[in-house]
Amino acid sequence: MSKPVALAFAAALTIPYAAPVAAETAPTSDERVVEEVFVIGKRRAYQGNFDSLEKPSADQTIAEDLLREAGAINLNDALDLSASVARQNNFGGLWNAFSVRGFAGDINLPSGFLVNGFNAGRGFAGPRDLAGIESVEVLKGPRSALFGRGEPGGTVNLVTKRPQFERTGNLRATYGRWDQMRFEGDVQTTAGTNDELGLRMVGFYEDAESFRDTVETERLGLYPSITWDVSDATSVTYELEFTEQEIPFDRGVAYSEDFGFTPRETFVGEPGDGPIETEVLGHQLEAQHNFSDNWSLLAGLGYRDTSFEGNASETNFGGRQTYFLDGRTLSRFFRYRNFESDYLVARIEVAGEFNTGSLRHRLLVGGDYDRFELDWFILRYRPGWFPGTTDINTLDPAEYLF
């Protein structure tokens, strides 16, 4: 997919909070003016109460403003802003694949990443969109072990957009090269007798063609969330993730041993196979209770269901590839994939601090439980080394496509 290079328009709609207005009178000398300040904050999960300079690790936070300025719309775009992260084989654009400090993990699976501290990279759910993401954290080195599953080089944590107990909203639309159209919306409000409920809805829709002939993608995502301030010391947050994507299987173009390449716009797959369809439905429930100013309990439960299904015509491997013989006939085979996964994560932690004499101690103790189930079904038709009905002439691909 390409980044948009031309912005047709961007519109923002703000819904202000309506409140009665009364004329202000100047206070007399005997009156004391007391300013009322409301502080709303939540402690970050599984991070501990430490400042950045106090951590023996090199972490990086890519904020929403920087993501917007860079035109980043998916996780791969965001990670390009980190010098410690490099792109890897993303299986024809069907998932996120990256390495942190040179460690890439299993190249046959999507790279693992976290969402609010919960493992979310497992399963085949398509590339992650940034519409519902507030910031991207790159946790470098062994600190990723605090979250369980992670590579030695580090891990990536996505912080989602949650209710801020405001009444506001915005709508954004972009148009770019290859007829890329994208719409994003973000609306939030409050409810309840004392506005103890915060509601937020984030969503996006994208439809785009590509520099590759016949390749077109369509994506849809919804990310509602609700926060309930039960009391001054207790809060509960629920988030839902729903995403549908249609992505053709595009592994690039063919080349010969003398580095003769086919045109970059040539699609060597089969348009008649249709796109790969991915879907994800995820839930996160998190509760926080502050026993005092120094001690707190944080518990969370996450469940994610993903599916990945579709057909693809792929190029044969070297031993059966006729392209290396005549430089024009590309031998292909047909494959059908159907992957489904369920992922359950439960986490709990206690964090606090205490003093012994002049020494200050900050403690973080927690544990997690993971259950991951992956079912996959694959069918394949593969002809012999001789030319077959699945072959394609790279010099005239239109003759073979349907």
Mean pLDDT check: name the lowest of 45-49, 117-121, 216-220, 250-254: 45-49
| Residue 254 in this model has a pLDDT that exceeds 80 | no
Closest by Cα among 111, 57, 47, 122 to 79:
111
The answer to whether residue 257 is domain-embedded is yes
| Residue 234 in this model has a pLDDT that exceeds 80 | yes
Closest by Cα among 123, 151, 155 to 372:
123
| Residue 388 in this model has a pLDDT that exceeds 60 | no
Confidence of residue 209 (pLDDT cuts 50, 70, 90): very high
Mean pLDDT throughout 2-30?
Answer: 44
The answer to whether residue 150 is domain-embedded is yes
Residue 15: per-residue pLDDT: 40
* 91 or 136: which leads in pLDDT: 136
- What is the CATH number for 323? 2.40.170.20
* 57 or 398: which leads in pLDDT: 57
Mean pLDDT check: name the lowest of 10-19, 29-38, 381-390: 10-19
The answer to whether residue 30 is domain-embedded is no
Confidence of residue 262 (pLDDT cuts 50, 70, 90): confident
- Of these ranges, 95-99, 198-202, 334-338, 386-390, the one predicted with the greatest mean pLDDT is 198-202
| Residue 332 in this model has a pLDDT that exceeds 90 | no
Tokens 């009391």 sit at which residue?
A: 231
Other CB atoms within a 10 A radius of the CB of residue 226 amount to 17
Mean pLDDT check: name the lowest of 56-60, 122-126, 264-268: 56-60
The answer to whether residue 375 is domain-embedded is yes
Segment 33-88, tens digit of pLDDT: 555 544 445 555 556 566 666 665 678 899 999 999 999 999 999 999 998 899 88
Percent of the chain with pLDDT over 70: 74
How many folded domains does the chain comprise? Answer: 1
The answer to whether residue 136 is domain-embedded is yes
The answer to whether residue 287 is domain-embedded is yes
- Of these ranges, 28-32, 98-102, 202-206, the one predicted with the greatest mean pLDDT is 202-206
Segment 296-311, tens digit of pLDDT: 999 999 999 999 999 9
The answer to whether residue 47 is domain-embedded is no
Residue 224: per-residue pLDDT: 98
The domain containing residue 297 runs over which residues? Answer: 55-399
| Residue 394 in this model has a pLDDT that exceeds 80 | no
Confidence of residue 29 (pLDDT cuts 50, 70, 90): low
Residue 97: per-residue pLDDT: 85
Residue 203: per-residue pLDDT: 97
pTM metric for this prediction: 0.80
The answer to whether residue 12 is domain-embedded is no
| Residue 293 in this model has a pLDDT that exceeds 70 | yes
Confidence of residue 206 (pLDDT cuts 50, 70, 90): very high
Segment 337-386, tens digit of pLDDT: 999 999 999 999 999 999 999 998 888 888 889 899 999 999 988 776 55
Closest by Cα among 272, 384, 399 to 328:
399
Confidence of residue 6 (pLDDT cuts 50, 70, 90): very low
* 390 or 316: which leads in pLDDT: 316
* 28 or 360: which leads in pLDDT: 360
* 295 or 397: which leads in pLDDT: 295
